[in-house]
Amino acid sequence: MLFFGGDYNPEQWPEEVWAQDVALMRQAGVNIATVGVFAWSDLEPEPGRYEFGWLDRVLDLLHDGGVQVALATPTASLPPWFTLAHPEALPVTADGVRLTHGSRDTYCVSSPAYRAAARNIAGRLAERYAHHPALAMWHVHNEYGTDCRCDVTAAAFRLWLQKKHGDLSTLNEAWTTSFWSQRYSDWAQIGPPRATQYMPNPAHVLDFRRFLSDELLDGFIEQRDLLRAANPDVPVTTNFVQGGWVSVDHARWAEEVDIVAVDHYPDDAGAGAEEQTAFAADLARGWGGGSWLLMETGPNLIYTSGRMHAKEPGRLTRHSLGYVARGSGGAMYFQWRQPRGGAELFHSALVPHAGPDTPVFREAIALGRTLRNLDVAATDQPAARVAVTWDAPSWWALQGPGLPAGDIDYLGAVRQAHRALYRAKLQTDFVFPGVSTDLGDYRMIVVPHLYLVSDEAAAAFRDYVAAGGTLVVTYLSGIAEPDSRIRLGGYPGAFREVLGMRVVEWHPQAPGATVALSADLTAGRWIERVETAGAETISLYADGPLAGAPAITRNRYGAGSAWYLSTALTDDSLQTLLHEIAASAGVEPVLPDLPSDVEAVRRGDLLFLFNHGGRPATVGDVVLPPGGVRIRSADVEGAPVGRG
Ligand code: GLA
């Protein structure tokens, strides 16, 4: 059974609305509600005084209506009484400003008072609801990612550093502290990166982000263990959020949750939204090791640079089924009912301010019906022969100070590689070489901007190619060791041997620059002086300062081949190139000859066909209306088993 539902905040509404909610949920086929995410001040209005009566009634009502519950611990938003009693638990910014109560996520995860209060409320909920018949899963906290630089954090950071580096001289070496007289002679001299005169030490900044990820994870694990102890049969999760500000290494966290749950909000109103949907779903499936759940997305909303874009009719269905096709255990939204006030008062909902007699709610009813008719098991997952690497610490390092260009964009580079494969209609997975050196049995692996690479991961990539794999490495990969010290002898250090070449000079170009390459390819923004050492040159720089020098190379290594892309190819050029490389590696599109606007995904026995374009499209004997979705048995030619 696929989940269909989303965040439900009955505490924001008078009780008579709850019965309407459940009736509407039944009408739409909603079978799960995430309850209590930010309800702490309604659950514990004063320290030690609990109000569980309303939550009892909500859970019973939902259960009677056939709706299961993802019950949240409310620890992402503290009640006002807590912050008054514990001002030291409020987070401090890098500028030394202690934040004030008034929003959410205003806590320091290292604060003992915060942690005790979080354990307490999670424990009370566990005690009361662990065996409630409506309980389908625990939803710990919300979108972990808060940052604090206070003195308590500083002490926790030092302990983490001691555990990681062992002794100060190892840390001094790893951080290259002789640069600008930063050599530490006592642990007490080290704090979180705070506002300083000029650029901070990149290794310090990177270790702090890794520390934050582990510290937040400790906070999660404390709650998870309490909840598990109360009833080991109920899965525990937390909703992952992706963003440049989030210091959470989800690939590592994935091992600690029972279900990988992901929030995703595309930020491109055009076809980019569909591409981002595919990207987020493929990445989440990778984190989940083959299964995952879309915990939140906007029912009728795409945020585009400060503007809300309403989804066109049918797009809610297309996006939702897009996540499901790529392995999600359901489609869940933020949120069920649009609130009357509060900070997100205009964020979209399945039941908007205008009520249920609206396009979005009507579409939700139809979607609920489609999801009910879909027969997919969590273990039915799309199978891919090509993978892209993902590494959160490389992202963080490429946000650091002192980089050679201001427009280096890790997420952009990974998205671009995924987008090129998506447009070539190739089903794509992700691999996580910073967490596991198991590179699977993919025919092809694309490595965009994998800046930090360990010796073990470098060896795994060499073995992969030697055994017959096809590796495609882009510029800014393999540059540094995991602690961010540069690998000497020429870039891309960790990959030099397998690639049979080296880079001796970077030539960052102006944003918007265009550089012509031979073989009809176009690039810009970034070029490099490449020296081959065994690799053959596939494409040369045709103009610009490196005219005549190698731009794209290929090295035969053992039974496989390893490509190097020394420049920022345009979308079209990257797509052409990756398509050709994939074809030569024997990676086939999901279906041959698909129209450009059509996306096809196989999940188990089902074939999902999406027409993202504005005109009808034909795939075999299936005619897809503009914006339409058809779901067919992948093996049997027959009638659609569901439709959007
Ligand atoms: C995330 C949060 C929700 C809400 C939405 C708004 O998903 O978990 O609480 O803030 O973003 O986009």
Structure tokens at 552: 């794209």
What's the farthest any 2 CA atoms get from each other in the chain? 76
Give residue 169's pLDDT: 98
pLDDT tens column, 317-341: 999 999 999 999 999 999 999 999 9
Task: Give me the DSSP letters along 405-450.
Answer: -TT--HHHHHHHHHHHHHHTT--EEEE-TTT----TT-SEEEE-S-
Q: Assess whether the C-beta atom of 106 lies below 6 angstroms from ligand 1.
A: no
Whose tokens are 């892209």? That residue is 388
142 touches ligand 1 (CB under 6 Å): yes
In this structure, are residues 335 and 347 in contact, taking their beta carbons and an 8 Å threshold? yes
Stated length of the chain? 644
For range 422-437, the mean pLDDT: 97
The more confidently predicted of residues 636 and 82 is 82
End-to-end Cα distance, the chain = 18
Residues forming a β-bridge with 587: none
How far is the centre of ligand 1, averaged over its atoms, from the C-alpha of 348 (Å)?
A: 11
Mean pLDDT of 358-364: 98
Whether the CB of 267 sits within 6 Å of ligand 1: no
Return the exposure string of 106-132: e unless at least 16 CB atoms fall within 10 Å of the residue's CB, then b.
Answer: bbbbbbebbbebbbebbbbbbebbbeb
Distance 334 CA to ligand 1 centre (A): 6
Ligand 1 binding pocket includes 207 (Cβ within 6 Å): no
Pocket test for ligand 1, best of 105, 143, 265, 333 (most atoms within 8 A of CB): 143
**Distance from the alpha carbon of residue 36 to the mean position of ligand 1, in angstroms:** 14
Read off the pLDDT band of 379 (50, 70, 90).
Answer: confident
Which percentage of the chain shows pLDDT scores above 90?
96
290 has pLDDT over 90: no
pLDDT of residue 636 exceeding 80: no
Specify the residue with its C-alpha closest to ligand 1, atom 5: 334
Q: Work out the average pLDDT over 9-18.
A: 98
> Is residue 643 scored above 70 in pLDDT?
no
Cβ neighbours of residue 273 under 8 Å, at least 6 residues apart? 266, 267, 302, 315, 319
Ligand 1 close to Cβ of residue 139 (< 6 A): no
Average confidence score pLDDT of the chain: 96
Of the pLDDT bands very low, low, confident and very high (cuts 50, 70, 90), residue 635 is low
Task: Pick the atom of ligand 1 nearest to 303's CA.
Answer: 12
The verdict on the CB of residue 441 being under 6 Å from ligand 1 is: no
Q: Residue 73 has what pLDDT?
A: 99
Among 33, 571, 50, smallest CA distance to 337 is for 33
Q: Is 347 in the pocket of ligand 1 (CB under 6 A)?
A: yes
* 8 CB near ligand 1 (under 6 Å): no
Catalytically annotated residue among 215, 275, 296, 363? 296
Beta bridge partners of 599: 610
pLDDT tens digits, residue range 125-134? Answer: 999 999 999 9
Q: Give the mean pLDDT of 276-299.
A: 97
Q: Where are the alpha helices (DSSP H) in 528-605?
A: 571-584
Residue 638: is its pLDDT beyond 80? Answer: no
Orientation angle between helical segments 410-423 and 272-287, nearest 10 degrees: 100
- Taking CA atoms only, the protein residue closest to ligand 1 atom 10 is 344
User: Three-state DSSP class for 565?
Assistant: strand
> Which of these is catalytic: 143, 274, 528, 599?
143
The DSSP 8-state label assigned to residue 486 in this structure reads: B
Question: Would you list the DSSP string of 234-270?
Answer: S-EE-EE---TT----HHHHGGGSSSEEEE-----SS
pLDDT band at residue 577 under the 50/70/90 scheme: very high
Q: Which atom of ligand 1 is nearest to the CA of 37?
A: 9
Q: What is the mean pLDDT of residues 420-431?
A: 98
Whether 143 is in the pocket of ligand 1, judged by its Cβ within 6 Å, is yes
Q: Is the CB of 334 under 6 A from ligand 1?
A: yes
- Ligand 1 atom nearest residue 298's Cα: 12
According to the model, what pLDDT value does residue 305 have? Answer: 83
CB atoms within 10 A of CB 180: 11
Give me ligand 1 centre to Cα 241, in Å. 9
**pTM, full prediction:** 0.97
**CA of 265, closest atom in ligand 1:** 12
Q: Which two tokens stand for residue 347?
A: 């964020």
Report the nearest-CA residue for atom 4 of ligand 1.
Answer: 334
Strand-pairing partners, residue 507, are 527
Name the one residue in this structure whose structure tokens are 């810009």. 524
Q: Which pair of tokens denotes residue 521? A: 């390819």
Look at residue 640 and tell me whether its pLDDT is greater than 50: no
**Does ligand 1 lie within 6 Å of residue 344's CB atom?**
yes
The string of pLDDT tens digits covering residues 101-153 is: 999 999 999 999 999 999 999 999 999 999 999 999 999 999 999 999 999 99
Q: Residue 378's pLDDT is what?
A: 83
pLDDT band at 633 (very low <50, low <70, confident <90, very high): confident
- What is the secondary structure of 458-513 as a DSSP string? HHHHHHHHHTT-EEEEETT-S-B-TTSPBPSSSBSGGGHHHHTEEEEEEEEPPTT-
Return d(Cα 564, Cα 502) in angstroms, integer: 10
Cβ–ligand 1 contact at 38 (below 6 Å): no
The amino acid at residue 499 is L
* CA–CA gap between residue 539 and residue 552 (Å, rounded): 5
Measured N-to-C along each axis, helices 53-64 and 15-28 cross at an angle, to the nearest 10 degrees, of 30
Q: Count of alpha carbons within 13 Å of 416, Cβ hemisphere only? A: 19
**Which pair of structure tokens corresponds to residue 95?**
């500028």
Answer yes or no: 481 catalytic.
Answer: no
Q: Report, as an integer, the average pLDDT of 8-25.
A: 98
Candidates 262, 265, 296: which one to mutate for ligand 1, based on the most atoms within 8 Å of Cβ? Answer: 296
Residue with CA closest to ligand 1 atom 11: 334
Pocket probe mutation, ligand 1, options 344, 346, 350, max atoms within 8 Å of Cβ: 344
Amino acid at 81: W
Q: What is the pLDDT of residues 578-598, one digit of tens each?
A: 999 999 999 999 999 999 999
Whether 263 is in the pocket of ligand 1, judged by its Cβ within 6 Å, is yes
For the CA of 296, the closest atom of ligand 1 is: 7
Of 12, 144, 263, 295, the residue with max ligand 1 atoms within 8 A of its CB, to mutate for a pocket test, comes to 263
Best residue among 11, 334, 335, 344 to mutate for probing ligand 1, ranked by most atoms within 8 Å of CB:
334
pLDDT greater than 50 at residue 642: no
Q: What is the residue whose two structure tokens read 């620890």?
A: 75
Residue 280 CA, ligand 1 centroid: distance in Å: 16
pLDDT at position 599: 98
SS3 category, 502 = strand
| Residue 238 near residue 248 (C-beta atoms within 8 A) | no
pLDDT at 634 (0 to 100): 64
Q: Does residue 255 have an active-site annotation?
A: no
Average pLDDT estimate for 154-167: 98
Q: Is the pLDDT of residue 232 over 80?
A: yes
Quick check: 428 pLDDT over 60? Answer: yes
